[in-house]
Amino acid sequence: MNQALALIVVVPMVGAAVAALLPAGRGPWLLATAISWYMLAAAAMLAGQAMDLGMLSYAMGGWEPPYGVEYRLDPANALLALLIAGLAAVVLPFAGPSLANEVPIEKSPWLYAALLLFLAGQMGIAVSGDAFNIFVFLEISSLATYTLIALGRNRRALTASFSYLIMGTVGATFFLIGVGLLYAMTGTLNMADLAARIPEVASSRTVHTAYAFIVVGVCLKLALFPLHLWLPNAYTYAPSAVTALLAATATKVAIYLLIRFIWTVFGIDFSINEMPTVQLLVPLAIVGLLSTSVVAIGQDKIKRMLAYSSVAQIGYMVLGIGMATELGLTAALLHLFNHALMKGALFMALGCIAYRLGTSKLDAFRGLGRRMPWTMAAFVAGGLSLIGVPLTVGFISKWYLVLAAIELGWWPVVAVIIVGSLLAIVYIWRVVEVAYLQRADDESRCEAPLSLLVPTWILVLTNFWFGIDTRLTIGMAERAAALLAGAGP
Amino acid sequence: MSAAVAMQLAILVPLLGAVVIALCGRNANLRDGVTLAIALALFALVLRVALGDDGPVEVTLIELMPGLTISLHNETLSILFAVVASGLWIVTHLYAIGYMRGAKEKNQTRFFACFSIALAGAVGVAFASNMLTLFIFYEVLTLSTYPLVAHKEDENAKRGARVYLGILLATSIGFLLPAMIATWAYTGTLDFVPGGVMAGVVDPAIGALLLVLFMYGIGKAALMPFHRWLPSAMVAPTPVSALLHAVAVVKAGVFTVLKVSIYLFGLDYLSELWTQDLMIGIAAFTVLAASLVAMQQDNLKAMLAYSTVSQLSYIVLAAMLASEWAAVGGAMHIVMHALGKITLFFCAGAIYVATKKTEIGQLNGLGRRMPFTFAAFFLGALCVIGVPPMGSMWSKLHLLMGAYESGYLLVVAVIGVSTLLNIAYLLPPVVRAFLYAPPAGEASAGVREAPLLCVVPLCFTALACLVIFFWGEPLQQRLFAMFAG
C-alpha cells in the first residue's frame, strides 16, 4: 500500500477547500505553492519507485481492484505525474505576482481554490486506474478550468470560457457514454480489468461504438484538429499564469488518456485492425499540424499565435500515436513532456511581458530586446526549443519523430514534420525581429521583477537541461512505450 | 596538457570568452585586449592539438541520446580547418579593431562577443568526430552569426539577415537533419570513419537520395540554387565578411561536405551512386554561373561574394569526384582560398574605411592613394585565380589531377574556363586603381591609407598567400595520410 499515491490527489483537493476559506491576500497563493511543491516531491518519489518496481497500486478505501477504485502508477503515467507536478511547482510561484496583477485581489481565495482543484483533477486522471473515476477527475479539472479562464481581464474571456464549456462538456459526455457502453459489455470499470475482458467481446458493435465515443471525446479535450476551435480563445483570454499551466499540462493529460485507451484498454491490435485509428489520426494530425502552423504565422496577438502553435504541436504527438509503433509512441511521449517545457517557458515569458505592458500584441514587442532583455532572451530560448535547435528538448523530440517515420518508410511524413519546424521558424522569428531590430518610441528599460523572471528562467533552463541530459526523459519514455506496446495481446 | 583537454578548451575558451567580452563592454580597450588574448589562447590550443604527436585521440563530452554522443577528435582535416579558422581570427581581430573604430560602428561589444561564439562554433565543427556533434556546432555557427549580419539594424541589414538565417536554417533543418537521422536509422552510427560507414549497409538507391539531401542540406557550401544567403550576408561589417563569410562559415560548409563524403559515404561508395554525376554537374554549373554573375557586379563585396560561391563549388567538386587527389586538392583549397579571399575582403574594408567607396566603378586612380592596399589586393586576386607562385596553384593542380584520374574531362575544362573568368573579374579593380586616372576634383594628395590596424593585417595575409606556396609538399603529405585511417 502506498499512501503517497492517494495523497498526491487528496492533498490538493483538501487544499482547495482550505484555500477557499482563507482571507483574500497572499495566503491562498502561499498555500497553493506549498502544495505544488509537495506534489513535486511526492511525484518524484513515486516515479522513482514506479521505475524500480515497474508498477505501484493503491486500492481506495481498501476495496480490492477490480471492484474498488484503484490508483495505479507505471512508467507511462509516472512521466505524466512528474510533468504535471513539476510544471505546477514552477508556474505557481510565478502565478502569485502575475495573477495579483491580472485578477482582483478579493477573488484570490476562489482563484487558488480553482487552481488547486484543477491540479487535483489533472493528477487524478494521471494516477487513476479506473475509467469512471477518470471521468470524474476530467470533470473536476474541466470545471476548474472554465472558472480560471473566465477570470481573464478581457471580457471576451467569458465567451472563450463558455465555448470551452460547451465543447469540453460534449467531450466529457462522449467519454462517459463510451465508458458506460464498455461497462455494459464487460461489467467492469477498472482499466487493467477492461483490457483483459475486452478481447472476448471485441467484435461486438457496442465495443466499436464505445471506442468511437471515447476517442472522439478525448480528441475534443486534447484539441485535435478540427476539434480545436475552443483552444485559441481559451488560451488567449485566460490570465497569463493560467495559460502557462493549461498549455503545459491540460492537453497533455488528454493525450495520455488517448494513449492509454488505444494501447492498454482496447489494445493496439484492436485499435489498428478493427478500427480505422491510423487512417483517421495520421491525416488529421498532418493537416492540423500544417494548417494551424500557417494560421499561427498570421496572428497579431502573440499569445494567440502560441495557442495555434500548441494545436500544431499536438499534431506532432498525435502523429506519433498514429504511427502505432513503439518508436512512434516513444516520440509522442517524449514530445508530450518536452512540449510542456517549451510552451510553459514561452507562455511565462509572455506573462512577464503582460505584467509590464498589459498586452501581447506584436506592436508592443518593438524594442523589447533592449527594454526587457532577460524576458526576451527567455522567449528566444523557448522559441529555439520549439523550432528544434540542437541541445534543446525540441531537437530530441524532432529526432525521435523523424526516426519513427523513417523506420516506417513514411518519407512524406518526414517532410511534413520538417516543414512544421520550418513554419515554426517563421512565426518565432517574426517576433524576434520585431523585438530586436525595431525601435520603440519609448526606450525605457522595464524588465520584469525577479519573482517572475526566476521561475521563467528555471523552466527555460530545463529546456536545455533535458535537451542535453536525456537519460531521465528518454529512459522513462522508452520504458513507458515498451510497457504500453507489450501490454497488448 | 593532453590533446583531449586542448580540444575541449578550444571550444570552451571562446565560448566563455564571449561572456567575459560582454562583461568588459564598458571599456573598449580592455574589451578588445581581452578578445585578442582569447584569440591567441585559442590559436595556442589549436596548435597544441596540431603539433602534438598524440596519435588519434577521441574524447566524448556527453551522451545526448543512447548511442549518440557529442565527441571530438583530432583527425588531419579537422586540424587543418581549426588552424585556418583560429589563426586567421587573430589577424581579423586586429583588423576588426581598426575597422570598427575607423567606421564608427555601434554595438561593438555585441559584435565581438558574437564573433567569439562563432569561432567556438567553427572550432567545434572542425573537431567534431561525428555528424551529430558537427550538426550542433554548425547550428551554433548559424545562430551566432545572425546578429553579426543584422549588425547595422537598418532595413537592408534586416532583409539580408532574414535571407541569411532563412536559407541556412531551412536547408539544415529541412535536408541535413533528415539525412542525418536517416543515416543513423540505416547504419546505426554517425561516426566519421575512414572509408565511410554506408558501403554495404545502405542501398545505393537510398544512398543516392541521401547524397543530394546532404549536399543541399549543407547550405553553407552555397551550392546553387541555395547560394543567395552569401551575397545577402554582405550587409555585415567587413571583418565579418572577411573571416566568417570567406573563411569560418563557408569553409565550415565545404569542410562538412568533405567530411561527409570521405568519412560517411566513403569515396568508393560515393562513386557507385548515380547522383554523383548529378552533383558534379550542379557543382560545375555553380562554378561557372557564379563567376558569370560576379562579372556583372559593380559592388565590390557582392563581386567577392559571388566569387566565393564559385570557389566553394571547387571544393564540392573535389569531394564529389571521389578521387583521393581531388579530395586532397579540396582540403588544400580550404586553406589557399581562405588566405586569398580574406585578403581581398580586408582590402575592400580598408577602402571603405578610408574613402567610404563600395563600388568597383569608383576605384579609378585609388592605387596612388592606397598603394599597400591595392598591392595586397593584387596578390590576393592572383591567389584566388591560382597562378604560381601562389598557394592555390597546388590545390587547383590536385583538383585537376583528380578530375583526370576519375575521367571527368569536362570538369578539367570547367576549371580552365573558370580560371579565365576569375581573371576577368578579379583584376579589373587593380587595373582601375593603378592605371586609370582619378576622377576630376579628387586630386591625389599622396598616400592616405586606412588606419594601420587595417593595413598591416591585409599585408600580412597577402604575404601568407605567397609563403604557403612553399609549404605545398608537407601539407600534401599530411593530407594524404587521412585516407590511411
Q: What is the 3-state secondary structure (H, E, C) of chain A?
A: CCHHHHHHHHHHHHHHHHHHHCCCCCHHHHHHHHHHHHHHHHHHHHHHHHHHHCCEEEEHHHCCCCCCCEEEECHHHHHHHHHHHHHHHHHHHHHHHHHHHHCCHHHHHHHHHHHHHHHHHHHHHHHECEHHHHHHHHHHHHHHHHHHHHCCCCCHHHHHHHHHHHHHHHHHHHHHHHHHHHHHHHCCCEHHHHHHHHHHHCCCHHHHHHHHHHHHHHHHHHCCCCCCCHHHHHHHHCCHHHHHHHHHHHHHHHHHHHHHHHHHHCCHHHHHHHCCHHHHHHHHHHHHHHHHHHHHHCCCEHHHHHHHHHHHHHHHHHHHHHCCCHHHHHHHHHHHHHHHHHHHHHHHHHHHHHHHHCCCEHHHHCCHHHHCHHHHHHHHHHHHHHHCCCCCHHHHHHHHHHHHHHHHCCHHHHHHHHHHHHHHHHHHHHHHHHHHHCCCCCCCCCCCCHHHHHHHHHHHHHHHHHHHCCHHHHHHHHHHHHHHHHHCC
pTM, rounded to two decimals: 0.88
Please calculate the CA angle B340-B345-B348 and round it to the nearest 5 degrees: 130
CA-based nearest distance B168→chain A, Å: 11
Grid coordinates representing A328 are 512512434
Interface check for B169 against chain A (CB to CB < 8 A): the answer is: yes
With CB atoms and an 8 Å threshold, state whether A437 touches B170.
no
Q: Which segments within B3-137 are labelled E, that is strand?
A: 58-65, 68-73
pLDDT value for B444: 61
pLDDT value for A311: 92
With CB atoms and an 8 Å threshold, state whether A470 touches B65.
yes
With CB atoms and an 8 Å threshold, state whether B150 touches A407.
no
At residue B383, φ and ψ (nearest 5 deg) are: -65, -45
With CB atoms and an 8 Å threshold, state whether A390 touches B139.
yes
Total residue count of chain B as it appears in this document: 485
Please calculate the CA angle B456-B461-B464 and round it to the nearest 5 degrees: 125
The stretch A358-386 carries a mean pLDDT of: 88
CA-based nearest distance B128→chain A, Å: 14
Is the peptide bond preceding residue B225 cis, with omega within 30 degrees of 0? yes
For an interface test with B, the pick among A338, A393, A429 (most B C-beta atoms closer than 10 Å) comes out as A429
B463 Ramachandran zone, left/alpha/beta (phi>0; psi -120 to 50): alpha
Interface check for A32 against chain B (CB to CB < 8 A): the answer is: no
From the list A391, A425, A470, the residue facing B136 with the nearest CB is: A391
pLDDT tens for each residue of chain B, 485 residues long: 788 888 888 888 888 988 888 888 788 788 888 888 888 898 998 888 888 777 788 888 888 888 888 898 888 888 889 998 898 888 888 888 877 777 777 778 888 888 889 999 999 999 999 999 999 999 999 989 988 888 887 888 888 888 998 899 889 988 999 999 999 989 888 888 888 888 888 888 888 989 999 999 998 888 888 888 888 888 888 888 887 778 888 889 999 999 999 889 888 888 888 888 898 999 999 999 999 998 888 888 888 889 999 999 999 998 888 888 888 888 888 888 888 888 988 888 888 888 888 888 888 888 888 888 888 888 889 888 888 888 888 888 888 888 888 888 888 898 889 989 988 888 888 888 888 887 776 666 667 777 777 788 888 888 888 888 888 788 888 888 777 65
Interface check for B163 against chain A (CB to CB < 8 A): the answer is: no
CA-based nearest distance A399→chain B, Å: 7
pLDDT value for A462: 92
ipTM: 0.83
CA-based nearest distance A423→chain B, Å: 10
Exposed, middle or buried, B274 (CB in 10 Å: 0-12/13-18/19+)? exposed
Interface check for A464 against chain B (CB to CB < 8 A): the answer is: no
- With CA atoms as reference, report the closest residue to A253 among A153, A157, A126: A126
pLDDT value for A489: 33
Q: Please list the residues that pair with B207 across neighbouring strands.
A: none
Interface check for B173 against chain A (CB to CB < 8 A): the answer is: yes
Domain boundaries, chain A: 298-489
What part of A 282-321 touches B (C-beta under 8 Å)? none
For an interface test with A, the pick among B173, B180, B190, B203 (most A C-beta atoms closer than 10 Å) comes out as B173
CB B280 within 8 A of CB B317: yes
pLDDT value for B448: 75
With CB atoms and an 8 Å threshold, state whether B184 touches A469.
no
CB B358 within 8 A of CB B453: no
- Mean pLDDT score across all residues of chain A: 89
With CB atoms and an 8 Å threshold, state whether B178 touches A399.
no
pLDDT value for B443: 61
Task: Measure the CA–CA gap between B93 and B111, rounded to whole angstroms.
Answer: 11
Task: Measure the CA–CA gap between A448 and A454, rounded to whole angstroms.
Answer: 10
From the list A396, A402, A429, the residue facing B178 with the nearest CB is: A402
Interface check for B37 against chain A (CB to CB < 8 A): the answer is: no
- With CA atoms as reference, report the closest residue to A440 among A355, A381, A379, A353: A353
From the list B161, B169, B185, the residue facing A425 with the nearest CB is: B169
Interface check for B65 against chain A (CB to CB < 8 A): the answer is: yes
Residue in chain B lying closest to A388 (CA):
B173
Q: What number of other Cβ atoms are within 10 A of residue B130's Cβ?
A: 25
From the list B157, B166, B178, the residue facing A418 with the nearest CB is: B178
Residue in chain A lying closest to B136 (CA):
A390
CA-based nearest distance B173→chain A, Å: 7
Interface check for A414 against chain B (CB to CB < 8 A): the answer is: yes
pLDDT value for A211: 92
Grid coordinates representing A311 are 494545436
Residue in chain B lying closest to A409 (CA):
B182
Grid coordinates representing B222 are 552555397
State pLDDT tens for residues A304-323.
Answer: 999 999 999 999 999 999 99
User: Chain A contacts of B136, Cβ < 8 Å?
Assistant: 390-391
With CB atoms and an 8 Å threshold, state whether A406 touches B150.
no
pLDDT value for A273: 84
Q: Please list the residues that pair with A83 across neighbouring strands.
A: none
At residue A190, φ and ψ (nearest 5 deg) are: -70, 130
- With CA atoms as reference, report the closest residue to A81 among A137, A30, A11, A9: A9
pLDDT value for A488: 40
pLDDT value for A357: 86
> What proportion of chain A, given as a percentage, has pLDDT over 90?
51
For an interface test with B, the pick among A386, A399, A433 (most B C-beta atoms closer than 10 Å) comes out as A399
Q: At A62, is the pLDDT very low, low, confident or very high (cuts 50, 70, 90)?
A: confident
Interface check for B61 against chain A (CB to CB < 8 A): the answer is: no
For an interface test with A, the pick among B11, B15, B65, B138 (most A C-beta atoms closer than 10 Å) comes out as B65
For B196, residues 6+ apart whose C-beta sits below 8 A from its C-beta are B262, B263, B264, B265, B266, B267, B268, B269, B270
Is the peptide bond preceding residue A104 cis, with omega within 30 degrees of 0? no
Interface check for B152 against chain A (CB to CB < 8 A): the answer is: no
Interface check for A399 against chain B (CB to CB < 8 A): the answer is: yes
pLDDT value for B484: 65
Interface check for B153 against chain A (CB to CB < 8 A): the answer is: yes
Is the peptide bond preceding residue A226 cis, with omega within 30 degrees of 0? yes
For chain B, what percentages of helix, strand and coil (3-state, to nearest 5) are there? 75, 5, 20
pLDDT value for B445: 65
CB B455 within 8 A of CB B449: yes
At residue B261, φ and ψ (nearest 5 deg) are: -70, -40
From the list B136, B165, B185, the residue facing A406 with the nearest CB is: B185
With CB atoms and an 8 Å threshold, state whether B162 touches A429.
yes
User: Chain B contacts of A436, Cβ < 8 Å?
Assistant: 147, 150
Q: What number of other Cβ atoms are within 10 A of residue B141's Cβ?
A: 25
Task: Measure the CA–CA gap between B379 and A69, rounded to whole angstroms.
Answer: 85
With CB atoms and an 8 Å threshold, state whether A390 touches B170.
no
Residue in chain B lying closest to A327 (CA):
B185
Q: At A113, is the pLDDT very low, low, confident or very high (cuts 50, 70, 90)?
A: very high
Dihedral sign from CA coordinates of B438, B442, B444, B449: negative
pLDDT at position A343 over 90:
yes
User: Chain A contacts of B174, Cβ < 8 Å?
Assistant: 418-419, 422
Task: Measure the CA–CA gap between B418 and B310, rounded to whole angstroms.
Answer: 9
Interface check for B203 against chain A (CB to CB < 8 A): the answer is: no
For B123, residues 6+ apart whose C-beta sits below 8 A from its C-beta are B10, B11, B14, B42, B46, B82, B85, B86, B137
List alpha helices for B218-323, DSSP H.
229-232, 238-239, 249-259, 267-270, 275-296, 300-320
Cα-Cα-Cα-Cα dihedral of A289, A290, A293, A297, to 10°? Answer: -170
With CB atoms and an 8 Å threshold, state whether B173 touches A418.
yes
Residue in chain B lying closest to A415 (CA):
B174
Cell numbers 488560451 correspond to A235
A204 Ramachandran zone, left/alpha/beta (phi>0; psi -120 to 50): beta
With CB atoms and an 8 Å threshold, state whether B162 touches A389.
no
Interface check for B448 against chain A (CB to CB < 8 A): the answer is: no
List alpha helices for B54-107, DSSP H.
76-102
With CB atoms and an 8 Å threshold, state whether A425 touches B162.
no
Interface check for A443 against chain B (CB to CB < 8 A): the answer is: no
Interface check for B205 against chain A (CB to CB < 8 A): the answer is: no
With CB atoms and an 8 Å threshold, state whether B181 touches A425.
no
What part of A 378-397 touches B (C-beta under 8 Å)? 384, 387-391, 396
The more confident residue out of A134 and B366 is A134
From the list A421, A437, A468, the residue facing B150 with the nearest CB is: A437
Task: Measure the CA–CA gap between B321 and B328, rounded to whole angstroms.
Answer: 11
